[in-house]
């Protein structure tokens, strides 16, 4: 279970014909309460899909009873017809559940510009099927139904205080979630749809602060290919079914742990990647500086191509960070690849031959020696497979 790990939630994932492959393509997550507290963060892209425009308005009051999601079409740049499709989708969910359309959050993922009558009919059919299939253990099906180029579903569930398995159960409440995303992974939440659930008792303002703190340190620091989606959304819904009031700090820690695990899963499933690269920046004057420095490397195609070729080219790291306005002396920087310091104080250090870049997991340490702040950015290498997959995405 994932989104249904917390009490008070049911979910379903069905094949409705949105995808020509016959795979599951419509998911529904329902909060049975007693609470309907909710918060969400949306893509920072000015080009927002119709479901984002709807959901931003609908959740303004801090409440949501259901999230309906489809894969196989982004319903973005589909004009008035597309927004009407989103509205009708929310209305159909509301009819099936006996709630108001304003209580329904809507999400789509897939090819931009898809939104004809056949798409609408398939999504509405999927709503009917999903509403009839809701189950306490439907989280797995829901996670599969939101996949596009994902190779595996992303879920985050565990019991007790074991945050290492991406969930939290503290003093009687649980946090769980599911996510999709494999391409267009960049800040602005990364290209993904994420539904997080908890049975803790928490008002919308607490959920909002917890969610924003969590996404800031996790999803917003996943920068796989520097491309920002039009559909990104992360929700946090609280049912209150545990009857336990959550301490805000504990809830924030739990939500962050779940988001961090899901972000790692997104990184590991990035389109075409052969290396999962963790860029740790230490010794920065501020945390923002550390993020800017790490992101500059994550977005360097030269650096990413070098990693694909198993080349510990530390010169490309220094060239990238030198384009930022972060406070540091480029000639005081140390750079390590997989534990081998190849650059010290802006000069060559250990021989490049000592670096083994064969493993998929790749770590880069950049020590700025300018302060005490630090941050970590996740990215991937740039491969032939990534180019091929994205050149044929619409075919």
Band (158; pLDDT cuts 50, 70, 90): very low
Note the pLDDT of residue 375.
Answer: 98
**43 given a catalytic annotation:** no
Report, at the CATH architecture level, how domain 276-391 is classified. Answer: Roll (3.10)
Banded model confidence at residue 163, pLDDT cuts 50, 70, 90? very low
SS (H, E, C) 4-43: CCCCCEEEEEECCCCCCCCCCCEEEEEECCCCCEEEEEEC
Give the start-to-end residue ranges of the domains of the chain: 9-268, 276-391
User: Cis bond leading into 34, ω under 30°?
Assistant: yes
Domains 9-268 and 276-391 share a fold: no
Question: Please, which pLDDT band fits residue 382 given cuts at 50, 70 and 90?
Answer: confident
pLDDT-above-90 percentage for the chain: 78
Q: What topology does CATH give the domain 9-268?
A: 3.60.70
Interacting residues of 108 by C-beta distance below 8 A, sequence separation 6+: 49, 50, 51, 69, 70, 71, 73, 74, 75, 76, 86, 123, 231
Q: Could you tell me what percent of the chain has a pLDDT over 70?
A: 90
Residues paired with residue 282 on neighbouring β-strands, in sequence order:
367
Residue ranges of the alpha helices (H) in 23-175?
50-58, 79-97, 117-133, 139-145
- Angle (deg, nearest 10), helices 287-298 and 314-321: 130
Backbone CA torsion sign across 294, 300, 302, 306: positive
DSSP H or E stretch at residue 281: strand 276-284
- Tell me the per-residue pLDDT of 128-144, one tens digit each, with 9 for 90 and over: 999 999 999 999 999 99
From 86, 149, 191, 383, active-site residue: 191
């Amino acid at each position: 279970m994932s989104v249904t790990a917390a009490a008070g939630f049911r979910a379903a994932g069905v094949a409705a014909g949105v995808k020509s492959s016959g795979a599951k393509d419509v998911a529904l997550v329902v909060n049975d309460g007693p609470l309907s507290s909710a918060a969400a963060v949306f893509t920072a892209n000015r080009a927002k899909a119709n479901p984002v425009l709807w959901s931003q308005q609908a959740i303004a009051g801090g409440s949501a009873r259901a999230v309906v999601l489809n894969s196989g079409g982004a319903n973005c740049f589909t004009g008035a017809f597309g927004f009407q499709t989103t509205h009708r989708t929310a209305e159909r969910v509301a009819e099936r559940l006996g709630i108001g359309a304003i209580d329904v959050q809507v999400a789509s993922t897939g090819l931009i510009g898809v939104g004809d009558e056949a798409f609408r009919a398939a999504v509405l059919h999927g709503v009917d099927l999903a509403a009839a299939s809701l189950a306490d253990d439907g989280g797995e099906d829901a996670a599969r139904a939101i996949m596009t180029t994902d190779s595996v579903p992303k879920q985050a569930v565990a019991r007790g205080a074991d945050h290492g398995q991406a969930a939290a159960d503290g003093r009687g409440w649980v946090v769980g979630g599911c996510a999709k995303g494999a391409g267009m992974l960049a800040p602005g939440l990364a290209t993904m749809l994420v539904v997080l659930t908890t049975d803790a008792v928490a008002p919308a303002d607490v959920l909002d602060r917890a969610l924003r703190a969590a996404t800031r340190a996790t999803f917003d620091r996943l920068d796989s290919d520097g491309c920002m989606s039009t559909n990104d959304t992360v929700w946090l819904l609280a049912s209150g079914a545990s009857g336990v009031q959550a301490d805000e700090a504990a809830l924030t820690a739990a939500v962050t742990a779940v988001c961090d695990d899901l972000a790692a899963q997104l990184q590991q499933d990035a389109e075409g990647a052969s290396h999962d690269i963790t860029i740790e920046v230490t010794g920065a004057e501020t945390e923002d500086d550390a993020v800017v420095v790490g992101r500059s490397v994550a977005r360097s195609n030269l650096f990413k191509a070098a990693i694909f070729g198993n080349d510990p080219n530390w010169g490309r790291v220094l060239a990238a960070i030198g384009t930022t306005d972060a406070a540091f002396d480029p000639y005081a920087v140390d750079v390590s690849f997989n534990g081998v310091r190849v650059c010290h104080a802006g000069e060559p250090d250990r021989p490049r031959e000592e670096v083994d870049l064969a493993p998929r997991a790749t770590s880069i340490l950049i020590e700025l020696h300018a302060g005490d702040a630090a941050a970590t950015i996740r990215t991937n290498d740039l491969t032939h497979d990534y180019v091929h997959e994205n050149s044929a995405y619409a075919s």
